[in-house]
Chain A
Amino acid sequence: MGALLTQFFNLQIMSEAAPLIVRGLGMTLLVCLAVVPLGLAGGLAVALVGRSRAAWVRWGAAALIDILRAMPPLVLLIFVHAGLPFAGLRLSPFASVCVAFFLNTSAYYGEIYRAGFESVGYGQWEAARSTGLTGWQAMTSVVIPQAVRNVLPDLVSNTIEVVKLTSLASAVALPEMLYAADMARSLTYNPSPIVLAGAIYLILLWPVVRLVSRLEHRLGG
């Protein structure tokens, strides 16, 4: 028991590593602030493009989404960070993370929005248009509010995934929270700093996970 505590919950080491980790937390939050809005916007754009009347546009969008969903985010990140320089495009770790995660999350948010649109019956659109509302007005006042409401648990759930995704940025040496914690681990040969980082993730995300569960149960599976 004692061994477990000194290995995983070594308070001494945790307190020494804390300042470093908190600085990493700042970077984690910064990445979230950049990627989540980008992904939400990108996803909406993808979903709207997917409703285009031109079949080839729809197919192109669907193919792009499937490719992005088939690619592990870490692979995409490494590709952007280590592969693009060969083509002459060298991005900073932060920029690489933003680009790779923007692509990945746009695909997932796009799928969620698509399900949302499909959940709003076509009759709603027709009713709105039949009173003379333009296509744009019908979308913004009638269809999109209902679509978002219907897929809210999935949107929140995916946002949780994005926050967790930021931990991958440690692989390209972006000094976010896990990178800082791992650095502390390698200096102390003790994983407690990573446990501390985990605890911080829990504090951030556990309440949101509970919230999503409750939303999901209320909508009845």
Chain B
Amino acid sequence: MSPQRAILDVRGLRKSFGASEVLKGIDLRVEPQELVFIMGPSGSGKSTFLRCLNRLEEPSEGSIFVDGVDLLDPATDINATRRHIGMVFQAFNLYPHMTALGNVTLALRKVLRHSPSQAQTIGLAALDRVGLKNRASAYPNELSGGQQQRVAIARAIALEPKIMLFDEPTSALDPELSGSVLAVMRDLQACGMTMVVVSHEIRFARDAAHRVVFMEAGMVIDQGPPARIFGPDASPRARAFLSEIAR
């Protein structure tokens, strides 16, 4: 398999904050339409790893190729590349001074240079995909947490990314509200989106993930299909972690 085939190709990724090394050499390949689920104890570096994938964190060492583009090459236009990498944050990070539609269309207008009416059409379509077209003119503080996160997803998918990164998308939500967000994510996956999800939602991983990666202390300890990772053949530390959070 040539590197060009994988949507994401990470080799030997290392990241240090000052003296402490948070990522100790991560390798990961993500094929198109794969849903890779990353889990592990807090402090394992999984969020840091995810944030390196669109260079919100600068890796100390290693290489990251997104659909063949070298992310860490200084000559790469990072802003143009980020359009192809969608990111959904734990804290949603919606712009409070703009409506839902405004949030979705900002990058369409400024990055893709669409005309306002074009941007509106695309934006409304994205909101429709997450089931919030009727709340397009609402401000974030008028929306529930689940709705806000769905708007955040719409904001990312409106740019038609090649890969979507989810950083604990439901951790800030009450359990009742996360259902709607997970439904949208499953929908995205069914439409063929490549996704990397950092989360604790084990049931979601069981149902939807193609591959589960278990990280601890800055390294990948185990990875494989959900059936194996969540079953008795998984590595001992993975099993210990899972029984912890199952409680």
Contacts and interface: CB of A to CB of B under 8 A. Distances in A.
A–B contact with Cβ pairs below 8 Å: the answer is yes
Interface of A: 121, 123-124, 126-134, 137, 141-142, 145-146, 149
B56 A133 contact: no
Interface string B52-64: 0010100000000
Contact of A126 (B93, B111, B159): B93
Contacts of B155: 127, 131
Contacts of B94: 127
Contacts of B159: 131-132
Interface string B152-179: 1001100100000000000000000000
Interface of B: 54, 56, 79-83, 85-87, 89, 91, 93-97, 106-107, 110-111, 152, 155-156, 159
23 contacts: A124-B93, A124-B95, A126-B56, A127-B93, A127-B152, A128-B95, A128-B107, A130-B156, A131-B87, A131-B106, A131-B156, A132-B79, A132-B80, A132-B81, A132-B82, A132-B83, A132-B107, A133-B110, A141-B106, A141-B110, A142-B106, A146-B95, A146-B97
10 tightest CB-CB pairs across the interface, nearest first? Answer: A127-B93, A131-B107, A132-B83, A123-B93, A130-B87, A132-B111, A132-B82, A132-B79, A137-B110, A134-B79
Contacts of A146: 95-97
User: Interface SS of chain A: helix, strand, loop or mixed?
Assistant: helix
Given A121-B91, A123-B89, A141-B106, 19 more contacts: A123-B93, A124-B93, A124-B95, A126-B89, A126-B93, A127-B89, A127-B95, A128-B107, A130-B54, A130-B82, A130-B85, A131-B82, A131-B83, A132-B79, A132-B111, A141-B110, A145-B97, A146-B96, A149-B97
Contacts, number: 64
Nearest to B95: A142
Contacts of A145: 97
A130 B85 CA distance: 8
A130 B56 contact: yes
A133 B89 contact: no
A121 B155 CA distance: 19
A123 B213 CA distance: 26
B144 to A, nearest CB: 19
Contacts of B81: 132
A146 B106 CA distance: 15
Contacts of A137: 110-111
